[in-house]
Amino acid sequence: MEAEYNHKNIEAKWQAEWENQGLYKIADMVEGKQNYLTLVEFTYPSGNLHVGHWYAFTVPDIFARYKRMQGFNSLYPMGFDAFGLPAENAAIKLGEDPKTWTYEHMNKMRTQLCSMGTMFDWSREVVSCNPDYYKWTQMMFAKFFENDLAYRSNTKVNWCPNDMTILANEQVIDGKCDRCGSVVEQKNQEQWMLRITKYADRLIGDLENLNWPDSIKEAQKNWIGRSEGSEIGFQLVSDLPPTPSQGRGEAPGYITTGSRLYKELYEKALEMRSNPTQAEEALWKELKSNKQGVHFRRQHIIQNFIVDFLCLSKNLIIEVDGDIHDLQKERDEERTKILESLGYTIIRFTNNEVIENVDNAVRNILEKIKELGDAKVLPLGEDLGEVSLADVKIFTTRADTLFGVTYAVLAPEHSLVQDLKEKISNWTEVEKYIFDTKNKSELDRQQNKEKTGVCLKGIFAVNPANNERVPVWVADYVLAGYGTGAVMAVPAHDERDFEFATKYNLPIKEVIEKPKYFPDSKPYTEYGIVKDSISWMDGLLSQDAKKEIVEELEGRGLAKEVKTYRLRDWGISRQRYWGVPIPIVYDPQGTAHAISAEHLPWLLPTDVDHKPDGTAPLARSKELFERTEKIFGKGWTPEVETMDTFVDSSWYFYRYLDPKNENEFCSKKKMKAWLPINLYMGGAEHTTMHLLYSRFWTKALHDLGMVNNTEEFTIRRNRGLILGPDGEKMSKSKGNVIDPDEIVERLGADTVRMYLAFMGPYGVTTNYPWDPNGVVGIRRFLERVWRFVAKNVSGKNNIDEPVWLSPAGRPEDPRKDSFLPETFNSRSIHKTIKKVTEDIENFKFNTAVSALMICLNDFEKSENISIEDIKVFLQLLAPFAPHMTEELWHTLGESKSVHLSTWPKYDESKIIDESFTVVVQINGKVRDEFIVGIDVGEEEVKNMALVREKVKKWLGGAEPKKIIYIKNKLVSIVV
């Protein structure tokens, strides 16, 4: 045995030897062994291994090796996610063919990966760009198509102008392309979609039983974004002049809007607001700066009343004198003129009446209406005999605020906007607004959140709860893709609506108490008292109120409870070359047909210039078109788009189980043997992408009868990143990149593996900085192990007889009690077995390494260590440092691989200490400690504590009130 640890020789030697032996070739089934599948995400053949790869692959390898030694038939597979943009872009840059580039880099990376000393079973390698792999990707897509899980749709898509392709929502980060960072544009385009939304509920529900971190579960739920609410029908009406003779006539009560009068007054009010006096301006300012301004709110409500009550009747105007703010006075003359010319009566309340108590003011108003007797108010839509132009469904989770609606908003893309353009008097303005919004990039939308919108003049929406007529706006703060693309705006209870209403001077109406009226029931609103501080999204309104309102409207067919999702269907079309061709052909009429299994794989053509120009390169393939016509007939054309690579990675793990199968993507038998996957370790960046897609894929395959399970990833743990020594993300520009090849060359793969395991707990998303000194510390440890074995073992490696390394410590009969000699070290090794085993189970590789270090420290201090103990130690170290331990294992006379040996078991009786340190606390502070034997009883220990000098001193003669004894730990004395 060499005196010095030479990692280069050892690692090269054993990697070759293992390869020779086929040590890591794992059978599908082994008699008497349970299968255990440890999965890590297969890798992109970027062409160069970085520290991140080492962290991702070598630490889970420790786990897989440990499981194997524990007696499991442990599989740890690897493959290449070989289609996709980076490879393609790199190839283009170098003027190469993506295929050549990819295969070259895969070869290079395979060699690099082998240098890690992992137990990857390369006989099961999966390469997503191989036709015998993507054949199955295509087959699955075709099945999805036939079962309405794949469809073509013209939607707004995220377009990356640099990569010249569509991106999925998941691939847009902060409005930028997640690959190249370009600002993503919005574009309308046809593309292939997968109906992941159909699985939204199951994707949420099935999270329940997965052993995944809560953070991932929450993130997925969040991403899917289910919210439960109601869809409520609002009628859209035009503003035809009123026809007083029609309608319900006698029903007394409160109405607000409707009729030409409303229109006139509403517009007048708007004008007032858009062209305010100084006093009004001051008020708006106050509103904007002090959202909870009571003073304002009061006044504001009054103002709303003014607007509303202005419209109370055909011949009655009720007005609150607002001269305290100089608001109304100024306008009085003008308004009175208009009103009187229309033949209205004006009733005026003094400002004091209102300001003192708004509630009373309201009541007074109502009283006065009653007194007048003939003040008749007609519900809109009925009395006017207006024709409904259209129904618009809005989505809300706050149906309880229905009585606070003061306007409605349609998304600019909403189809009704186009449908009603004849009725919209300011169409030019509206059209321009829509055009402008369309051209906003995703980034613009996200960064510039100043609300904008245009009123659809000539159209009103009718609130079904109270038949109130409210104006309709288009605004891009309402998203076309969410809910129904239309909302009811309740500025008093929604911050966004509030902001918008404030900007455009729209009324704000607060619903304070449970609303009590519908057109058919008690006809007034309880506005209640405005409290001093009410927040915007207050929780004042109960679930009951919500339920009541929705039920009432449901009864009239105007509402229904619905669930809506943030999740969009998955757009998989890519206008790029290096991907799976979508297996669809179009007949001469343009109807899409899935390509049947006999023609799969539907090969990626090679006769194209694949430089991206925004159109699909496959469209330029003569061969592809000829092939299509040849097989399907004249006039048939191929689909020219390729698939998102997340499709490839959605099912790759199935293929590991049956990589050579030509008839099925994976036999059911093999699935049954290996699935579900026991452990899936990977990067946090896949939380709402790969992990979600893949779960969907499995469920879809399951529903099509193609796989057994609905979830395949039993345990998932996300890992963090390895940062540069400066604590920053590694990047060339920062010059903090650690090159693993260089470190492996200098210190060895075992050192790097073990250092990565030692950095901190695995399976949490903490990022750890690479410490160049820290890694040397691990190297030192391995050298110490080497020297320790070399020093003690030379010439004494007879494995039949436990060898006592120090003659002085040799006992009479080393096998008296067990096959392991009874020594201090025996206890030490048993403790270490326990600790390392438990820590690996919990992915706490760092403390497992620490336990091994402590064990070696003990060994070095000790006089006599048996060969058996050393061997156990090597076994425990083997998953971490597979090469070195293999070498030493053989040095100790073993002929079979240490990695095939059985994980040692500890003996509980060997771990128990004979004595322990009792800590004495007095009033919670540690004052003394002493050692007692394991079998000393509670009373005795307490008494021993009480008579100790230090304890007496601290007690100062005081009588203990209470003495608490914790077995084998402490005595706590309370005075």
Partner RNA sequence: GCCGGAGUGGCGGAAUGGUAGACGCGCACGACUCAAAAUCGUGUUUCGCAAGGAGUGAGGGUUCGAGUCCCUCCUCCGGCACCA
For 56-73, give the DSSP string.
HHHHHHHHHHHHHHTT-E
Peptide bond into 676 cis (omega under 30): yes
- Compute the least distance from the CB of residue 216 to RNA, in Å: 8
- Compute the least distance from the CB of residue 658 to RNA, in Å: 34
Ordered alpha helix ranges (H), 311-401: 329-341, 351-356, 358-372
**Contact at 8 Å (CB) between 535 and 389?**
no
Q: Which of 591, 512, 537, 195 is nearest to 398 (CA)?
A: 537
- Compute the least distance from the CB of residue 925 to RNA, in Å: 6
- Compute the least distance from the CB of residue 549 to RNA, in Å: 13
Among 107, 857, 909, 915, binds RNA (CB under 7 A): 857
CA–CA distance, 432 with 6 (Å, rounded to integer): 74
CA–CA distance, 549 with 383 (Å, rounded to integer): 23
Q: Give the nearer residue to RNA in terms of CB position, either 452 or 837.
A: 452
* 75 strand-pairing partners: 37
Q: Which of 158, 711, 653 is nearest to 446 (CA)?
A: 158
- Token pair, residue 845, equals 């590789």
Say whether residue 65 binds RNA (CB under 7 A): no
Q: Which residues in 543-582 contact RNA (CB under 7 A)? A: 564, 566
Among 93, 660, 732, 925, binds RNA (CB under 7 A): 925
Q: Which segment (33-41, 117-125, 307-315, 852-860) binds RNA by CB under 7 A?
A: 852-860
Q: Give the nearer residue to RNA in terms of CB position, either 305 or 770.
A: 770
Q: Which residues in 682-711 contact RNA (CB under 7 A)? A: 684-685, 687-688
Ordered alpha helix ranges (H), 842-927: 845-861, 867-877, 882-891, 908-911
Q: Give the nearer residue to RNA in terms of CB position, either 526 or 783.
A: 783
Q: Give the nearer residue to RNA in terms of CB position, either 606 or 943.
A: 943
Among 39, 236, 559, 849, binds RNA (CB under 7 A): 849
Q: Give the nearer residue to RNA in terms of CB position, either 130 or 688.
A: 688
Q: Which segment (342-350, 519-527, 618-626, 762-770) binds RNA by CB under 7 A?
A: 762-770
**Contact at 8 Å (CB) between 666 and 139?**
no
Among 257, 825, 847, 897, binds RNA (CB under 7 A): 847
- Compute the least distance from the CB of residue 914 to RNA, in Å: 15
Q: Which segment (84-92, 759-767, 806-814, 900-908) binds RNA by CB under 7 A?
A: 759-767
Among 71, 293, 769, 960, binds RNA (CB under 7 A): 769
Q: Give the nearer residue to RNA in terms of CB position, either 342 or 723.
A: 723
Q: Give the nearer residue to RNA in terms of CB position, either 322 or 483.
A: 483
Long-range contacts of 64-69 (CB under 8 A, 24+ apart): 64/36, 64/38, 64/119, 65/119, 65/878, 65/879, 65/882, 65/899, 66/840, 66/879, 66/903, 67/36, 67/38, 68/36, 68/119, 68/899, 69/875, 69/878, 69/879, 69/899, 69/901, 69/902, 69/903
356 phi/psi in degrees, rounded to 5: -55, -50
Question: Which residues, including other chains, have CB under 8 Å from residue 270's CB and lie 6 or more apart?
Answer: 505
Collapsed DSSP state (helix, strand, coil) of residue 306:
helix
Among 398, 576, 670, 717, binds RNA (CB under 7 A): 398
Q: Give the nearer residue to RNA in terms of CB position, either 220 or 866.
A: 220
3-state secondary structure 105-158: HHHHHHHHHHCCCCCCCHHHCEECCCHHHHHHHHHHHHHHHHCCCEEEEEEEEE
CA–CA distance, 445 with 436 (Å, rounded to integer): 11
- Compute the least distance from the CB of residue 185 to RNA, in Å: 16
Count CB neighbours of 555 within 10 A: 9
Q: Give the nearer residue to RNA in terms of CB position, either 103 or 916.
A: 916
Tell me the per-residue interface mask from 411 to 450 with RNA, x by CB under 7 A, - otherwise.
x---------------------------------xx-xxx
Collapsed DSSP state (helix, strand, coil) of residue 455:
strand
Q: Which residues in 451-470 contact RNA (CB under 7 A)? A: 451-452
- Compute the least distance from the CB of residue 767 to RNA, in Å: 7
- Compute the least distance from the CB of residue 950 to RNA, in Å: 7
750 phi/psi in degrees, rounded to 5: -60, -40
Tell me the per-residue interface mask from 78 to 107 with RNA, x by CB under 7 A, - otherwise.
------------------------------
- Compute the least distance from the CB of residue 842 to RNA, in Å: 8
Among 204, 853, 911, 936, binds RNA (CB under 7 A): 853
Q: Give the nearer residue to RNA in terms of CB position, either 564 or 709.
A: 564
Among 758, 786, 843, 906, binds RNA (CB under 7 A): 758
Q: Which residues in 771-810 contact RNA (CB under 7 A)? A: 771, 773-774, 776-778, 780-781, 783-784
Edge-to-edge strands, sheet with 970-974: 925-933, 915-922, 970-974, 962-966
Say whether residue 956 binds RNA (CB under 7 A): no
Q: Which residues in 872-901 contact RNA (CB under 7 A)? A: none
Q: Which residues in 149-178 contact RNA (CB under 7 A)? A: 169-170, 173
For 146-207, give the DSSP string.
HTTSEEEEEEEEEEETTTTEEE-GGGEETTEETTT-PBPEEEEEEEEEE-GGGGHHHHHHGG
- Compute the least distance from the CB of residue 967 to RNA, in Å: 8
Number of residues that bind RNA (CB under 7 A): 88
Among 388, 397, 415, 439, binds RNA (CB under 7 A): 397
CA–CA distance, 310 with 662 (Å, rounded to integer): 79
End-to-end Cα distance, the chain: 64
Q: Give the nearer residue to RNA in terms of CB position, either 487 or 793.
A: 487
- Compute the least distance from the CB of residue 225 to RNA, in Å: 5
3-state secondary structure 739-768: CHHHHHHHHCHHHHHHHHHHCCCCCCCCCE
- Compute the least distance from the CB of residue 826 to RNA, in Å: 20
- Compute the least distance from the CB of residue 592 to RNA, in Å: 29
Distance of CA 102 to the CA centre of its chain: 30
Say whether residue 748 binds RNA (CB under 7 A): no
Q: Give the nearer residue to RNA in terms of CB position, either 720 or 802.
A: 720
* 866 strand-pairing partners: 804
Count CB neighbours of 896 within 10 A: 10
Q: Which residues in 592-611 contact RNA (CB under 7 A)? A: none
Q: Give the nearer residue to RNA in terms of CB position, either 259 or 687.
A: 687
Binding residue per annotation — 732? Answer: yes
**Contact at 8 Å (CB) between 41 and 52?**
no
- Compute the least distance from the CB of residue 75 to RNA, in Å: 28
Ordered alpha helix ranges (H), 542-675: 543-555, 622-632, 645-648, 652-657, 668-674
Question: Which residues, including other chains, have CB under 8 Å from residue 485's CB and lie 6 or more apart?
Answer: 410, 411, 413, 414, 478, 479
Q: Give the nearer residue to RNA in terms of CB position, either 398 or 719.
A: 398
Binding-site residue set for ATP: 732
Residues marked as binding? 732
